[in-house]
Structure formats: structure tokens, C-alpha cells
Structure 1
């Protein structure tokens, strides 16, 4: 018994009943009605259930209880003409993702230590495994989060052409929500977003502080999860670090798999450059680049991968336009502004703050007099980083750590140099902290 969409305004005209389907759907005092979405079924049940029961009784089919079944779970025993699912907004045609860059695929994503977990989780989701729901990727600018999002969307579209995959930014979600409110088309908005198979929202932190948008996203999130639909989200920080998010929204965002995409290390940066150069040479076989240029760029440009790729693009354009080999001298001349920006000096205060955050201790305890191991080891790590990442003298570093003597700094630096060889955890901590500070 297919059920058309009921209007949102009060108790209007009842949906027309398909009498041919009644014998197969009504029996034992129970009638099952096919609805496009679970949300629409709940709405009709709240507003029209009594009227439908009365109409069935008047038509000679006394029924005591109604079951509203979404199309995917509809009873197949009787011939049913399924009601069409609500159409997505014009920006997202049925069965397609929007704003997808064909270059952003899994094949062109370079995997390294800093992003291997995010890549593996994205692959699993794209293959149809829904154990990670939602999948929440977070990290700084230019680290590959959007690349992974678009790769998931394109892989899903290739595997399941009929799947309704909707990819958009949080800003686009908010704009459509506000437009629906203004045009009094909230039911269309709700049905459209609840009818997708996969919802992907980029930069979700932008809904923070926007109460009405948060509330609608929360209900959309719940409706899709209840239907077993996949959700993928990205942000520039973890859910608990996004201020002005409602507690219930934060809790929902943490209910799946939260993965941090860390700043790229030297090996990953070099791998990204090699991959991009291979694509450039495929388009222009005459492109010449001297040995050591890629290594130079990977070592000097550490801010993010987007800036790194842009630098190589500029070099390739320069070499192509002037017909010259790309040498180290040409790279220094052409990328002077980028290199100067990448040479930002790290301060001891920044190092102390990052180390305290990493080890979850107070900054006052890091630089204070307490000699507990839980404070002493992070303090030595901070001293080591201050010695290796700044040009400050040992006495100056000691003064920044609560007025300690330079011999204390020397001892701390030597201790960390020994531990980073024998203690894998210390080595990982140093690597992560250095990359975070360089970024």
C-alpha cells in the first residue's frame, strides 16, 4: 500500500489508498504502508494515523495497527508501486556527487606515516564497510582531508552507480537550510537530505555557533544513522576541540571513528613531489629538472602539501615557458617568497606549549621546579627541541625553563638523544612534535 508524502501543514487531505494492494498488506489487524523515508513515515504516523485507520475501516478493511516501512524494507509479498524517493536539490542530481575533482582519487593519493590510518579508513568506507559511522577526519590545512573525501565519493560512485552520494561543504549545507527556511520548503529539505545513501560534509567546524543549523544537522545525522546510511565528515580539529558546538552534536561526531591527519614528514613530502612530477612529465616529456631540486623543496617547504604542490607547479611552468632546465638556482629565484615564508622561526614558547599539550600537562609544571618523572621527561623533550630547532644559547634556554643552569639543559638534551635511539615512543613523540611545530 504505497503512501504518498503528506503535507506539513496540519491535518490536510489523506493520501490515496491503493485498494488493489490492500489484501496483500492488511492482515491480522495490521497494515503495512510503504513510505519513501523513515522520517516521512514518522511524520505521517504522528499526524494521520487515526484518520487512516478510520478510512480503512470505512473501506471494509478494519485494521487496528499501522506499520510504516521505508522503501528498502517494504514488504515484497504484494505488488506495490513504490513511491519515488524525494529528489535531491538541483545542485546534486540523483546518483551523482557534486563538485568532484577527477584528479582526487585514491590512486593519486600518496600514503605516508602521517596519513596511513586516515587512508585505510577511507578505503574501507569506500568499499562499503559501514563499521565506521561516522568517519571523522581532522587535521590542518592542506594535509589531504578533502582529497580523501572526494576519493571516497568517486570510488563509491564507480562501485555503485545508483547510490545517492551527496558531497558538500558545511557552508553549502547551511545555505540550503537557510534557503529552505526562507522559502518555507523545510519538508523538501528534510526529505532530500534523508534520502541519500552517503552524506559527506567538508569543514563541519563552520556550523559551530549556528544553533538552528546545528539542530537540523543533528536531526539529519540521527535519521541517516538510524537508516544505516554512511556519513563522512572533515574538520580542522577534533570534535572536542570545536568550540560553540552543542554537547549532543559533539557526542554524535565522536560516536564513530575519529582519525587525525598529521603534518607530512620529509618522506611523504618527497613522495608527493615525485608523484606530481611524474604527472607533469606525462603531459610534457621535454620537462627537465636537475637532481636535488625535489629534495630541496621537500626539506624547505614544510607548511602543508598544498603549498608544496603549488611550488612545483610554478617551477614546471617556469621551466616550460622559458625552455630551461629547472635547477636549484632557478628554484631559489622563482620561489623566493615561498621559501622565506617557510623559514618561519620556531620560538621556545611555541615548543613549550606544544610539548605541554602533547603530554597533557600544565605549562606551569613543564617549566616549574617539580622533578616528577611525568614532568621531567616532557621538560627534557622540550629542551631538546629548543636546542635543535632554535638558535638560542644553552644559558638562554635554561632561563626559559624556570631559570635552570645550562648544565641541566645539556643533561636533558643528551638524555633525549640516547632515548630516541632506544625508546620508540620517544622517537615517535619527537617526530610528531617536530612536524607539528614545522607546520
Structure 2
């Protein structure tokens, strides 16, 4: 079969897989893009993957559904063989630090350990695979699973963390991962694709100079902790000889204060504190913005940071804002920003809908209620109404599930859900929020008067604030352009231009995206 026919046949297989009712096409698009057909004959298909990681995950979770698609298309059983494209793997390889060893092929992950997922930037587990009707990360970490940018834990009431974002946990005394936050259960969308891809790259080969440190930032509940934990769990699973430490900055601060309480730098407690982190091969520090104003702790962190990176050891940091927006000394900002810095944006509707589906599926798995099903219109309502914080979305799904199961209302309607969640959401469409509310917050934020906001002045700062106000009214209230225009003394075309202009600028400016998110938070707190 020539290459053109081979590519077409593989395309047909991918389309067939995506046609199954229990398959999410966006997941297949992202994941299968890292597979390449090499040979095909009657009853046989050979594919290559970019690396061992992808090969292992495909073999474990997707081979059977590929076979099913081939059988449906060609009406004979197929053997599917997956090999690693050595050329691609070598092309992508970077020198590893001396203490690291390459990731070895994993023909089967231990059932009790956290399982990694594909290294593709958009790869994620597919809990709907026909080959594993209820395959899920519950096999990992002793069964305490949470799905993707957000699935529930083993019980809805027990998981506060969001999937990308799921439940927070740690490792036991033996270093065995107990967290359910893995790459496989992180739901990928345009909002987090790059950060995810870079996290996987670091997990596969810690210490790459251009990603050391790796700095991931974004608002609370968007998946920073999930990615840090996923890196930790993947390295523990595949490179157990490396010392991997995850620490929240609050815990780090507490450790430091305890160790240096007597201000005696010769105390064994202080030495043990510093040695613990300096001996790490991979150090992951979460929420570093909480260290601002803590000069002594920052100085120690900076020393540890420099020692590790100079030795080719990996440092990963997270914060709720970009390094330049953290109130710390310029030298810290410069070093934090010296590797790879990537942001996570609020998930788009499609991603949130995927998270809702994952929540529901995971609950079915963990509770054994296979007949549980939330109607599509209710799932969409939750996705559209929830704010950027996926913990809020998760708790909304939990409420609906409880109403259906524990309160014996299996045929719950959209109207019932609207009543149930009437006061639940902090973002999304809001009946209580008004144009005046948004205008007031914009005026306070940009230090201009109401008369200037809706008046004829065209100085740059006023035009900028006015366009932001118009954009926020459109996004948060979903009002027609003409209705918004009346509140700003502008016509329909001016309002449309303002919205489009802000949307275009957001694509290029992280600063603007952060600014808008801060404004939205202020508005939600009204």
C-alpha cells in the first residue's frame, strides 16, 4: 500500500473511532496526532509513536478500539502493532542531567501506582473507550481517582480539587505516589495545551536547560497543582532512582520558620531543612506568590534554586500570576522567568463540557451506578454557567448527582437543575449583575469617572477602559450590542468593534488576559 493510500486508510480508521458514541472526538484528534501509519495489509496494521511513553499508553488504552474500528471498516480481525519511531525520538531528545536515566518502555504500569498518559500536548485518558468501557485512573493510586481537568474523586463529596485540578494528596514514606493527579486524567483544551505539553516534556526528561525552571501560572482552580503533581507522579513511577519533592509554598515557609526558630544556622534542624531540598533531583514548589514579602525564606529558596539548576537538576514552580507580577526582588523575577514560562487560561466551554462528562463517568465507575446519566442539556448548562474555577463546576455536578441518587430524582429536568443551582455559580450568565455594576468596577479599576467612561473624551486611557467595560458587559451579561451601546452612549457598530478589538488583543497579550481575569473576579464579588 503506497503512502497516500496508507494515510487515507489511517484517516478512515480515526474517523471511525471518533464516530463511536462513547468516544470524545477532540481527545482522539489530539492523541492520535502522535501516531503515524507505517504499513498495512490484510489483517495487519503497523503504527509508530513518537516515544515509548505514547506507545505504552496507546497499547494500554486504545489498541482495542483501533482494532474495533478496523473490524467495522474491513470486516476482518486485525493485528495492530505499535513501535517507537527511533528517528523522531532521537530528534526530540535533549541531554539529560547526569543523575537522570532515559524513560524506559513501560509494557505495563503497576496497578497500584499512578499511571502516566501520552506525552502529546493534547493527550488525555479516554474513559469512554470501547476497549475499556470503564477504564479510568481509578486503577491508579489505589483507586482514588479524579478525572482530568476534572473528574471527581472516589466519591463526589470527598473531592474538593479539580481535575486538572482534582483531589490533592501526597506520597507515602516509601515515596510511592498516592495522588490521583496524573497526566492521563488531565483534560486538555486550548486554554492549557502548551502548559500541559511542557509539563510532560519536563516529566519525561528532567533538567532540560530551556525548561529549567519550568514556571506555570494561572488563576486558582485551573490546574497548576495537577500538572505539578502529574510531573511528580510520572517521575516517581518511571525514574524511581530520582529524588522528587513537591512542596506548597505555605508548607515550605512553615518548614523554614520551624527550622530556623532559634536563628541558629548551625542547628541540625536548619541543616536538615536545607539539605532535604538541595538533595532533590526534581523540586516542585507550588504557589510561590505566597513567598512575596518573606525575604529570608525567599533568599533560602533562591540559594536552593540556583544550586539545583546549576547542577542540571529540575525546578518547577507555579503561581497565580506571571513572575513579573509577583511582588519580589527583580533578581528573583529574572531567575524564575529564565526557563520556560507558560500560562493556563480559563477553560473554554468545550473543555468544561468534557470535564462534566468525565465527572459523571468517574462517578459511575467508582460507585458502580452504570445506569447514571445526566442529560446533555443539563451538562451544557453547567458548563456554560460555571466560572473559570473548575472546583465550582465539580461541585455543581456533585449537587446534581446527589439530587438524582440520594434524593431519588433520577429524571431531574433542566428547570429543576436551574432551581437547584440558582445561587451556586459565581460566574457565567447572571441575572443579578447589571451594566452599572460592571461600569462601576471598571471606573474604580482604571481610576476614571462615570462621566468619562460614557462621555465623548477620547484620550487613550479612557478609550481603553471604555472598550474593556463594553467587552465585559457583552461577555458577562450576554446583552445585544445595541443594548450595551445605549448604556455607554455608543452605537451598535462601536460596541461590536470594541468587543472584537479586545478579543484580538487578548490573543497576543497575557497581561490583558490577567487584567481581565482580575476585573472579572472583582465583579463576581459584588
User: What TM-score, normalized by structure 1, do the two folds share?
Assistant: 0.65
**1:256 to 2:339 alignment:** yes
Matches within 5 A, 1:22-41: none
Instruction: Note the 1:139-218 alignment, pairs <5 A.
Output: 139-182=218-261, 184-185=267-268, 186-218=270-302
Partner of residue 271, structure 1: 354
Q: Is contact 1:122-1:152 (8 Å) kept?
A: yes
Secondary structure of 1:200 counterpart:
strand
Which structure has the greater CA radius of gyration? Answer: 1
Residue in 1 that maps onto 2:487: 397
- 3-state secondary structure, aligned to 1:182: coil
What is the SS of the residue equivalent to 1:162?
Answer: coil
Root-mean-square deviation over aligned CA pairs: 3.7
Matched, 1:134 2:216: no
- The match for 1:347 is 438
Q: CA deviation at 1:375?
A: 7.6
Determine the structure 1 residue equivalent to 2:319.
235
Counterparts of 1:436 and 1:294 in 2: how far apart (Å)? 27
Q: Is 1:107 equivalent to 2:196 in the alignment?
A: no
Q: Which residue of 1 aligns with 2:11?
A: none
Aligned-residue offset at 1:282: 2.2
Matched, 1:121 2:198: yes
Query: Any residues of structure 2 matched to 1:242-321 within 5 Å, and which?
Result: 242-243=326-327, 245-283=328-366, 284-321=369-406
Q: 1:386 aligns with which of 456, 470, 473?
A: 473
Deviation at 1:381, TM superposition (A): 5.9
Q: For each residue in 1:41-73, what CA deviation from the matched residue of structure 2 results, as whole angstroms up to 9, or x when unmatched?
A: xxxxxxxxxxxxxxxxxxxxxxxxxxxxxx969
Relative to 1, partners in 2 of residues 1:395 and 1:136: Cα closer, same or farther, differing over 3 Å? closer
User: 1:190 offset after TM fit, Å?
Assistant: 2.0
Deviations 1:356-404 (A, max 9, x none): 7xxxxx9699888665889857754643543564569557633xxxxxx
2:438 corresponds to 1:324: no
**Aligned in 2, Cα 1:370/1:178: closer, same or farther, shift over 3 Å?**
same
Q: CA deviation at 1:301?
A: 1.3
1:258 shift after superposition: 1.6
Quote the Cα distance in structure 2 between the aligned partners of 1:386 and 1:285: 42
Summarize the alignment of residues 54-93 of structure 1 with structure 2, pairs less than 5 Å apart: none
Gaps in structure 2 of 5+ consecutive residues: 1-97, 101-169, 522-526
Q: Do the aligned partners of residues 395 and 315 (structure 1) sit closer, same or farther apart at CA in structure 2, a change above 3 Å counting?
A: closer
Q: Give the TM-score of the pair, scaled to structure 2.
A: 0.55
Give the counterpart of 1:412 among 490, 494, 501.
494
Measure, in 2, the Cα distance between the counterparts of 1:299 and 1:286. Answer: 25
Name the stretch that deviates more: 384-393 or 319-328.
Answer: 384-393
For the 8 Å contact 2:470–2:484, the answer to whether it is kept is: no
Consecutive unaligned residues of structure 1, counting only runs of 5 or more, are 1-70, 74-90, 357-361, 399-405
